[in-house]
Amino acid sequence: MAWQPPGGGPGSRTACGPSVLTDHRNATAALLREILDAFREGRPGVAPVGRIVRNTPGVALVDAVGDPGDLLVVGTGSRGPLLRALRPSVARYCMAHAPCPVLAVPPSPLQADLEALDRRNAWRIPRDGRTAAAG
């Protein structure tokens, strides 16, 4: 799991102190443990491993590739124009720099329906199965 300090690195005008860095890294480690535990649940023969890297996600993923025969699988996500302008695409970075094949997986077409249902739930609007099915 890649992480970056909030506010930028040591050379940044908004660099944070060591305690904030430690807290941020600990929160990242806790999240990784939670994710790995979820993958282990109900899969006795599977032993997922993870590591924490302080870097941008694209660089961390490309650096993790150990062999040109590996396959790097990344999600493409769905981003609006503002996010595309502010943050570079991790999938594009990986496709341009990885020494192995990269499989870029687009989001499920059902993702938009799920997000719409979540927005309805946030506004306490009753969920109607017909609305999701008709969309």
The Cα–Cα gap between 56 and 3 comes to 7
pLDDT of 9 reads 58
Which residues are CB-neighbours of 101 under 8 A, at least 6 positions away? Answer: 71, 72
pLDDT of 46 reads 76
Q: Which contacts (CB < 8 Å, 24+ apart) does range 86-94 have? A: 88/58, 90/57, 90/58, 90/61, 93/58, 93/59, 93/62, 94/58, 94/61, 94/62
pLDDT of 91 reads 92
pLDDT in tens, the chain (135 residues): 787 776 665 555 566 677 888 888 899 899 999 988 888 888 888 788 888 888 888 999 999 998 888 999 998 877 677 777 777 889 999 999 999 999 999 888 887 788 788 777 776 665 555 555 554
pLDDT of 129 reads 54
